[in-house]
Amino acid sequence: MISERLSEKFRTCSLLATLFVVYRHSFVIHAFYGTNTCDNQELMFFTHWISNLTEVAVPIFFIISGFFFLGKNYYSDTKYGSMLQKKAKTLLVPFVFWNIIGLLVLFLYRSSDIPHDLHSFMKKFFSSDFNGPLWYVRDIMLYMLLVPLYQWIFYKRMSVFCGVFIVFLFARWLPVDCAILSTEGVQFFILGGFLGKYKMLDKQIGKKWVAWALFILWQACCLFCDVWANEWIHKIIVILGVLSVWYGIDLIPSKFRMKMKQISCYAFFVYVTHFYCVKIVKVIMAHWFYGNGTIALLTFLLVPVIVVPCLLKIGMLYKAYLPKVYLFTTGNR
């Protein structure tokens, strides 16, 4: 069992990471200009800043998953089998359901992107091409299948090997890697388990100024560093960002933390439903105002602010009127 304080921080982290993902999918330059750059300096500035800022989203998700999953011992045939049955309900069912929803939206939006032959179709389906954000769920399912290996490392007291393995993965880590069994995912999943095993996340920073210093340094790096100029700079800034988010949560006023805690249970619903909502709004706005930098900037900044509250409200109504269906399609979240 973990403390209520730690549980609340994890829920808040998940919500923040979800918001970061929504903003990452709200980039509009390509939609409005047909390229990855433009002459609107304000739009380029905010795109640069938020792109760097939101790099922490995927690492946060995998750290949380690794912390909870590797904190349990499934190192036996019976436990492993029951775990797979449970994960089929909490991961496989939502993965299939929301991929089908994505497929239906894509059929209405751009049916030409749907393959006609079965092999290509199944490959795209299980690669989460019909609902992009689900690649994270796909990878977590694969990690579940590999649990005997993880558990052997964690419960055979191979701490030194585990630490060396994490360092090795850090060196091999490819940022923004969405491939199957991505280096980014594996590294932070195992790191989450390592942090949980040695209760490293239970520790608090005694001085608030340290958390503020981390946050300010992270923001300065996001604003002024060319993150993609050097792979190692990118990695260090992501690690700095993860630390800043984790310890920065303690700086949020308790009133707002309580509100975030209340809506955090809908984070997964927002995660699996936002992709096409954001994309459709971007495409419509770009069609009407193609090449208009001011409208592009406003679209980029405001779409998440509008879409997320709408999806939260839809999620609340969905759960209120169809509670069993809601729980089934969100994996009992």
Q: What digits encode the pLDDT tens for the residues 45-61?
A: 999 999 999 999 999 99
Q: What is the pLDDT of residues 96-144, one digit of tens each?
A: 999 999 999 888 877 888 888 888 888 888 888 888 899 999 999 988 8
pTM of the model: 0.91
Contact 293, 42 (CB under 8 A): yes
| Cβ neighbours of residue 272 closer than 8 Å, sequence gap 6 or more | 94, 98, 131, 133, 134, 330
Worst-scoring range by mean pLDDT, 36-50, 124-138, 199-213, 273-287?
199-213
pLDDT of 177 reads 56
pLDDT of 110 reads 79
Q: What is the pLDDT of residues 239-265, one digit of tens each?
A: 999 999 999 998 999 889 899 999 999
**Per-domain residue ranges for the chain?**
4-329
Contact 216, 210 (CB under 8 A): no
The burial class, CB within 10 Å (0-12 / 13-18 / 19+), for 132 is: middle
| Average pLDDT score over residue span 83-95 | 90
pLDDT of 205 reads 75
Establish how many alpha carbons lie within 13 A of residue 104's alpha carbon, considering only the half-sphere containing its beta carbon: 7
pLDDT of 187 reads 84
Cα distance between residue 265 and residue 143, in whole Å: 23
Return mean pLDDT, the chain. 87
| Cβ neighbours of residue 262 closer than 8 Å, sequence gap 6 or more | none
**What is the C-alpha radius of gyration for the chain, rounded to an integer number of angstroms?**
20
- Return the closest-CA partner of residue 52 out of 275, 222, 192, 249: 222
Cα distance between residue 141 and residue 250, in whole Å: 31
| Average pLDDT score over residue span 167-175 | 67
